[in-house]
Structure 1
Amino acid sequence: MRVKCVICDKIEKIDNQSPLAKKLRNRPIHTYMCKECYERIENRTKERIDTGNFRLYKKDEANESW
């Protein structure tokens, strides 16, 4: 299966029977990122967390009851 990275537009080939290929086929909302882009985002996020200026806003389930 040919996939395209959503960030750098690099085209790669993945195995048709891999769980990632099945997820991309069955749920079009899921997107593919190449390994380099994924690692770059991961490293930069860790750097921001280490500075102390990074806030992760999590959804508060207790206050969201309708």
Structure 2
Amino acid sequence: MIVTCVLCDKKAKLDANSYQGKRLINHPLATFMCDECKVRIAQKTEQRRREGKLRPRLYHKESDGWS
């Protein structure tokens, strides 16, 4: 199955029997993001977190001891 990345519009071949392929087929609102975009977003998020520009509650949930 051919899928398109939602950010960079690159076409990628994905196995329809893989977990990600089945997820895209069975859930029409699910989107595909290529590995390069995932890495780029992770790097930029980590950089923003280190610089203090990302609010802590968005990326880290503290345990309150009840769960």
For Structure 1 versus Structure 2, the TM-score category normalised by the shorter chain is 0.7 to 0.9
Deviations 1:7-52 (A, max 9, x none): 0000000111100000000001110000101100010000000111
Q: What is the total number of aligned residue pairs between the two structures?
A: 58
User: In the TM superposition, what are the counterparts of 1:18-57 in structure 2 within 5 Å?
Assistant: 18-55=18-55, 56=58
Higher helix share: 2
Compute the TM-score of the two structures, normalised by the length of structure 2.
Answer: 0.80
Q: How many angstroms does 1:57 deviate by? A: 7.9
Question: 5+ residue gaps in structure 2?
Answer: 61-67
Question: 5+ residue gaps in structure 1?
Answer: 59-66
* Counterpart residue identity of residue 33, structure 1: M
Compute the TM-score of the two structures, normalised by the length of structure 1.
Answer: 0.81
* Counterpart residue identity of residue 35, structure 1: D
Among the aligned pairs, what percent are the same residue? Answer: 47
1:4 aligned partner: 4
